[in-house]
Amino acid sequence: MNLKTIPLGVIGVALAVAGAIGYSLVPEKLWIATLLEVSALLCLIAFVVVHFSGLKAFSARRSTRIGANSILMIFLFVAILMIVNFLAARHSIRWDLSENQNFSLAPQTHRVLRNLPREVTITIFTREKDPGYQAYKERLDSYRQASSKISVEFVDPERQPKIAQQYGISRTDTAIFESAGQTVRVTAPSEVELTGALIRVSQDSKKRVLFLEGHGEPSLDDRERTGLFAAREILIKQGYDVGTLSLLKETAVPDHTAILVVAGPRRPVIAEEQERIHTYVEKGGHLLLLIDPDTQADLNPLLKQWGLGVGPGALVDLQDRLAQGDLTSLLVRTFTEHEITQDLSAAVLFPLARHITFDEQAGSAWDYVPLARTSPNSWAETDLKGRVVNLNEKEDIKGPLPMAAALAPKAAPEEGKPRPAIVVIGNSTFATNAFVNFPGNSDFFLHTTGWLAEERNMMAITPKDSALRPFTPNPLEERTLLYLQVVLLPAAMLFSGIMVWRKRRRL
């Protein structure tokens, strides 16, 4: 036996592969991988020395030169790919070509990321096989690209149980947001949840929103269709501290109340309560009034002090209404340019609304902006008792009519004093559990509270649902696709293969 009979090349390649596998399995035992790789190198050098004359003759062949050129082109192509990947990793640019921009962050999220006051660490407890892993990864990659203050770490709770136990993780697909000692937990990888968590964890204090109670208003704890439980949860997710207030028990609206909400009172709000609300606004408070048609609340004495009022009857719209719905189910698409409405893209559903009025003389000190209007083919119906609804020129009020308005003082407040603000909406049902999850409703509700609380980044982020639109070909398109896929493409591939074979035969 001599060296030529020993398969030194095979042994060298086998040792090199074994060294790479050994290093990946036991990286702490580097000496094993080093020994294997050195042995592989020696075997390959011995192979070249022993078979040098044969390799020299082999390399002189024409087929070898052609093959070497092919291998060189392959190596060049691989090198180009490696360089492109390196540059892409250092300077990442992403294009979202999906129809609904499912992989792009909303403008509100970019606003939050630009204004982050401090570093935020996000720890995601998930496994690669879990359903939320890829969603978290893709979404948070966009967050990291938009802000250098975001750091993300993925932890497998099965491989690192001590860390999971330290954070009290009881389920996978859970994200922990940490910043300056504050912690927020998220269990869904949606943009609404993630951005809401960023807002909450990056603020030192939460702005308080109080809902007036004691007059038959929908309850914040009511999970039925008429309750406001969902609206409360939406506000909490956006970083607000939500509670209730009874001005029958309290003599004034508490200090540091960001927004006072009067949502759908059914029984009268007495004069003392209205005076306390007026005092709160005059001191720089922010008031949100949701007033339904046909109630006994009678808030006109309060509204008149600012030149506002609510019109009689209920709004009817023959144009902008819910398809197959009642004439009073308004689907509002006409908005006035305002901070509240600037990012609205979906229609707002107002079931049974009333219109808002404004007296310019009484409210001369206030800047009045109607936020949403009915179409020209609408009116305020004063008699809804009958099944047939028609415009009565003598009794009804012809549209278009505003059903939501914002009010702010024209003069700037004194230095150091807050600026009051009022929003009046002629309907409260749009914010109840049955309707608040309608895309336009949640947007409008949160845009309004964000403007009143003077939190421009506290805006709604519309969930992006993927649009499924299957292609259904007609008979002509079906035949075209059949010929293209079954006949033309295979024939083109066969023809190309024959031409390449003939060309190589001539070499």
Rounded to 10°, the helix 132-146/107-114 angle is 60
pTM of the shown model: 0.61
383 in any annotated domain: yes
- Interval 295-340: pLDDT, tens: 888 899 999 999 999 988 888 888 887 766 677 888 888 888 888 8
468 in any annotated domain: no
User: For 16-23, which contacts have Cβ atoms below 8 Å and span 24 or more sequence positions?
Assistant: 16/40
Is a pLDDT exceeding 70 seen at residue 3? no
Whether residue 290 contacts residue 425, with contact meaning beta carbons closer than 8 Å, is answered with yes
Distant-in-sequence, close-in-space partners of 256: CB < 8 Å, separation ≥ 6: 208
139 in any annotated domain: yes
Name residue 405's beta-bridge partners: 370, 424
Is a pLDDT exceeding 50 seen at residue 472? no
- 172 and 84 in a common domain: no
Which tokens sit at 448? 């309004």
pLDDT at 486: 84
Torsion of CA 300, 306, 307, 313, to 10 degrees: -30
442 in any annotated domain: yes
pLDDT at 155: 92
The whole-number average pLDDT for the span 47-56 is: 72
pLDDT at 406: 95
State the average pLDDT for the chain: 82
- 280 and 140 in a common domain: no
- 216 and 177 in a common domain: no
Share of the chain above pLDDT 70, in %: 83
143 in any annotated domain: yes
pLDDT at 80: 66
- 182 and 115 in a common domain: yes
- Interval 364-404: pLDDT, tens: 899 999 999 988 888 888 876 655 567 877 788 888 999 99
| Structural domain containing residue 7 | 3-90
Q: What is the CA radius of gyration of the chain?
A: 35
| Residue predicted with more confidence, 75 or 217 | 217
In the block, residue with structure tokens 């009881």: 170
Is a pLDDT exceeding 90 seen at residue 211? yes
pLDDT-derived band at 276 (thresholds 50, 70, 90) equals: very high
- 438 and 317 in a common domain: yes
Is a pLDDT exceeding 70 seen at residue 86? no
- Interval 421-450: pLDDT, tens: 999 999 999 999 999 988 788 889 988 998
- 478 and 391 in a common domain: no
215 in any annotated domain: yes
Q: Where does residue 146 rank: exposed (0-12), middle (13-18), buried (19+ CB within 10 A)?
A: middle
Residue finishing a domain among 152, 186, 220: 186
- 327 and 253 in a common domain: yes
Is a pLDDT exceeding 50 seen at residue 466? no
pLDDT at 477: 62
- 323 and 259 in a common domain: yes
98 in any annotated domain: no
For the chain, give the number of residues. Answer: 507
Separation between Cα atoms, residue 421 and residue 316, nearest integer Å: 29
Domain count, the chain: 4
- 219 and 294 in a common domain: yes
CATH number at residue 444: 3.40.50.880
Separation between Cα atoms, residue 243 and residue 228, nearest integer Å: 12
- Interval 145-200: pLDDT, tens: 888 899 999 999 888 989 988 888 877 888 999 988 878 777 778 787 788 788 87
- 389 and 298 in a common domain: yes
Is a pLDDT exceeding 80 seen at residue 229? yes
- 138 and 82 in a common domain: no
- 166 and 49 in a common domain: no
97 in any annotated domain: no
